[in-house]
Amino acid sequence: MIGSPLYGLGKGAVGVDVLYTRLDGTALGHIVTDGSIAGAFGNTASALDEAAGSIASCTKANFEYPRCGELAIQKPESERVKVKDLRDEY
């Protein structure tokens, strides 16, 4: 989704909705993040990079890879970390 510049001249955002699932389709988590597009000539590439950084931080904070080649597993509740700027919590 692309943000609208209605709330300020040249301001907008690219929103990203992420659903973490197991291979069987069971949902593990859901986050919504965004990247800002600033200025009259702002571009979506930098906004996507900003959103991707938030997604990577959330993934690293909430999932772990036990051994090379294995599927990721969700960290125990006590080890999960709230990631700044995400709209949904785990």
Q: Total structural domains in the chain?
A: 1
21-35, 55-69, 70-84: lowest mean pLDDT where?
Answer: 70-84
- Is residue 29 over pLDDT 60? yes
Query: Does residue 41 sit within a domain?
Result: yes
In the chain, the largest separation of any two C-alpha atoms, in whole Å, equals 49
Tokens 């919504």 -> residue? 32
Query: Does residue 87 sit within a domain?
Result: no
Distance CA 54, CA 88 (A): 12
pLDDT band at 90, cuts 50/70/90?
A: very low
Distance CA 50, CA 88 (A): 17
Query: Does residue 71 sit within a domain?
Result: yes
Q: Could you read off the pLDDT of 46-66 as tens digits, one per residue?
A: 888 889 999 988 888 888 776
Query: Does residue 89 sit within a domain?
Result: no
Query: Does residue 86 sit within a domain?
Result: no
Query: Does residue 84 sit within a domain?
Result: no
Query: Domain of 66?
Result: 5-79
